[in-house]
Structure 1
Amino acid sequence: MNENNTRKQLLIAKSALQAGLFMCAALVPVLQAEAQTRRQPDTTQLTCDQTQDLIKRFGGINLKSGPYKFDRFVVGRNQCFSGQTVRPTFVPTKDNPKCSVLVCAEMGQARQ
């Protein structure tokens, strides 16, 4: 009787695993399409203050700063990977062509 219960449990587990894998396979394309359609805020459509406020609010955020330019801007070193430091750079905004922001950079990497 115990062996019978074990077989039933294995069949149920196998069916549940197959159903879970099917659901994952069905959802991955949907989630990828969603991620590709999300737009990062564009610094050229924001003021410098708005851009800096976004960075402060999230700590680190990917922003668009030109037609084909994306970068991750941060509030400080704690948002960078080990071996990285912060480096000041500038992005164009609606009211300032050189809005000062921070990016993570490898130690010793020259300024852009």
Structure 2
Amino acid sequence: MPADPRQCLILLAACTLVSMPMAALAQGRPSTLAMTCGQARGFLSAQGAAVLGTGGHTYDRFVRDRSFCEPTQITRNAFVPTRDTPDCPIGYRCIEPGRNWFDDD
């Protein structure tokens, strides 16, 4: 262990920075498959915006309304699988309008 207080502070800061990403990975994200459609819609309504798991290793960011998107983005209806339905209308996704903004890609 370093005896110099500055070295201790630097060591503490380094340990903190290294452990932060690990803590973020351990948190996980809510899964729509563990909720009913009503619960998922209520969760998003209360949060405003959330990154939700939608099965396996898939996830997306969903929003309650356009106010949670970037100024240049528009909303597109979003449907997710939930515990009680395969196509729950949870809210919206933010997308950048392009030449083919009517298409899904």
Q: Which TM-score tier does this pair reach, normalised by the shorter chain? A: 0.7 to 0.9
Question: Is this contact kept in 1: 2:54–2:81, CA < 8 A?
Answer: yes
Which residue does the alignment assign to 2:83? 94
RMSD of Structure 2 on Structure 1 (CA): 2.0
Tell me which stretches of 4 or more aligned residues in structure 1 moved more than 3 Å. Answer: 15-22
Q: Given the two structures, how large is their TM-score scaled by the length of structure 1?
A: 0.77
Structure 2 residue aligned with 1:110:
103
Alpha-carbon distance between aligned partners in 1 of 2:14 and 2:39, rounded to the nearest angstrom: 39
For the Cα contact (< 8 Å) 1:88–1:111, is it kept in 2? Answer: no
How many residues align? The count is 98
Larger radius of gyration: 1
The amino acid of 1:106's aligned partner reads E
Q: 1:64 to 1:21 in 2, by over 3 A?
A: same
Question: Please, what TM-score do these two structures have when normalized by structure 2?
Answer: 0.81
Instruction: Give structure 2 stretches of 5+ with no counterpart.
Output: none
Give the secondary structure class of the aligned counterpart of 2:60: strand
With over 3 angstroms needed to count, the CA separation of the structure-2 counterparts of 1:78 and 1:18, relative to structure 1, is farther
Could you say which residue in structure 1 is the equivalent of 2:68?
Answer: 79
Are the equivalent residues in 2 in contact too, given 1:59–1:74 (CA < 8 A)? yes
What is the letter of the counterpart of residue 37 of structure 1? A
Instruction: State, as a whole percentage, how many aligned pairs show the same letter.
Output: 29
Stretches of structure 1 that go unaligned for 5 or more consecutive residues are 1-14
